[in-house]
Amino acid sequence: MKLTKKIENSKKTLFSIEILPPLKGKSIQSIYDGIDPLMEFKPAFVDVTYHREEYIYKKREGGYLEKVSIRKRPGTVGICAAIMNKYDVEAVPHIICGGFTREETENALIDLQFLGIDNVLALRGDSIKTEPAFVPEPNGHAYGLDLVKQISEMNRGMYLDDEMKEAAPTNFCIGVAGYPEKHFEAPNMTSDLKYLKAKVDAGAEYIVTQMFFDNKKYFEFVDLCRKSGINVPIIPGLKILGSKKQIVTLPKIFHIDIPQAFYEELEKCKDDKQIREVGIRWCIEQSKELVKANVPCLHFYTMGASEATKAVAKEVF
């Protein structure tokens, strides 16, 4: 079922989660172990992230270094199929521009359609870690917008080969990313919103936000979106801060702020256990305020922290 239908049909705020494929070599059981404790809260959908290749240098005989391309977390589509099969819940694969030609994107979307996957989150994807900026594939997409356009065209039965006659239209509900604290490459919020609106005008039916720890940023963002004519559901993304390391890494990786009041609480903690408790408490407060504001869904970036997510969900749902 399309997520937008689920949202329309629900009178209250839904619960959803986002998971990462396990590192290559780990079994699917690690995915089930992460989802099982959260099934009692009836997630409306489970997002599965996509991770492109990385380059590493391997030491070879004679001491020379060979540049090798590896994918540490493959399996997004297989995991989606397995989750739908095991839990009878909607799984949403993330589909990215990076590393894909248009042809490969089309073929990947056909696979998803055949598997009965109705929802996709369309993203540009991050740049390869060793490259300073995002580089599209030759004949690939440079922006999330172009990917949304391709999926929308397939939804209208238009494939890349314009000689194809009577091609079956796909029926994807397309989600895209939004940034309450602005995407780090955007020169300003106005410009970022212009391209977000372009994605919606091209066929995106809902937005999932980057994580934020200050609800004010989300409410202001929703306000700006509405004023810009973006009227689709905007699902807040939440992360439970769970270690001292994350106080530094989350702002660095995701380009978000930790509000001063939260930081002062975190600073008082002696170890990661205390940090986790403060992180859970903060997320419960955030969640309760968002539910009170009648947001469509609370989307938790679990990143393997199912027990912490369960502790929050218990208080909120």
Catalytic residues: 18
- Choose which of 143, 219, 257, 307 interacts with ligand FAD (CB under 6 A): 143
For residue 47, give both structure tokens.
Answer: 């997002």
> Smaller CB distance to ligand FAD: residue 199 or 276?
199
| Helix, coil or strand: residue 120 | strand
Strands (E), 227-301: 234-238, 297-301
Is residue 208 close enough to count as binding ligand FAD by CB under 6 A?
A: yes
Is residue 201 close enough to count as binding ligand FAD by CB under 6 A?
A: no
> Smaller CB distance to ligand FAD: residue 139 or 314?
139
- Choose which of 34, 43, 125, 203 interacts with ligand FAD (CB under 6 A): 125
Element (H, E) at 48: strand 45-48
Helices 189-201 and 144-155, axial angle in degrees (round to 10): 10
Is residue 173 close enough to count as binding ligand FAD by CB under 6 A?
A: no
Shortest distance in whole angstroms from residue 9 CB to ligand FAD: 22
> Smaller CB distance to ligand FAD: residue 145 or 297?
145
> Smaller CB distance to ligand FAD: residue 43 or 237?
237
Q: What is the CA radius of gyration of the chain?
A: 20
For residue 15, give both structure tokens.
Answer: 């619960």
Tell me the number of residues near ligand FAD by CB under 6 A. Answer: 21
> In the chain, what is the greatest distance between 2 CA atoms, to the nearest angstrom?
66
| Helix, coil or strand: residue 169 | coil
Is residue 317 close enough to count as binding ligand FAD by CB under 6 A?
A: no
Is residue 36 close enough to count as binding ligand FAD by CB under 6 A?
A: no
Q: Among positive and negative, which fits the CA dihedral 68, 69, 75, 76? A: positive
For residue 42, give both structure tokens.
Answer: 């009836």
For residue 169, give both structure tokens.
Answer: 């239209």
> Smaller CB distance to ligand FAD: residue 9 or 191?
191
Residue 69 — left, alpha, or beta (φ > 0 → left; ψ -120 to 50 → alpha)?
beta
Shortest distance in whole angstroms from residue 172 CB to ligand FAD: 16
> Smaller CB distance to ligand FAD: residue 97 or 313?
97
Is residue 73 close enough to count as binding ligand FAD by CB under 6 A?
A: no
Q: What's the CA gap between 259 and 256, in Å, rounded? A: 10
Is residue 124 close enough to count as binding ligand FAD by CB under 6 A?
A: yes
Q: Which long-range contacts (CB under 8 A, 24 or more apart) does 163-172 make?
A: 170/109, 170/110, 170/113, 171/113, 171/118, 172/109, 172/112, 172/113, 172/118, 172/119, 172/120
Shortest distance in whole angstroms from residue 51 CB to ligand FAD: 6
Stretch that binds ligand FAD, among 5-13, 151-159, 179-187, 278-286 (CB under 6 A): 179-187
- Choose which of 40, 185, 223, 267 interacts with ligand FAD (CB under 6 A): 185
Shortest distance in whole angstroms from residue 28 CB to ligand FAD: 18
Stretch that binds ligand FAD, among 4-12, 55-63, 84-92, 188-196 (CB under 6 A): 188-196
Is residue 236 close enough to count as binding ligand FAD by CB under 6 A?
A: no
Q: Which residues pair with 175 in a beta bridge?
A: 121, 206
Report whether 120 contacts 175 (CB < 8 A): yes
Report whether 241 contacts 275 (CB < 8 A): yes
Binding interface with ligand FAD (CB under 6 A)? 49-50, 94, 96, 123-126, 143-145, 177, 183, 185-186, 191-192, 195, 208, 210, 237
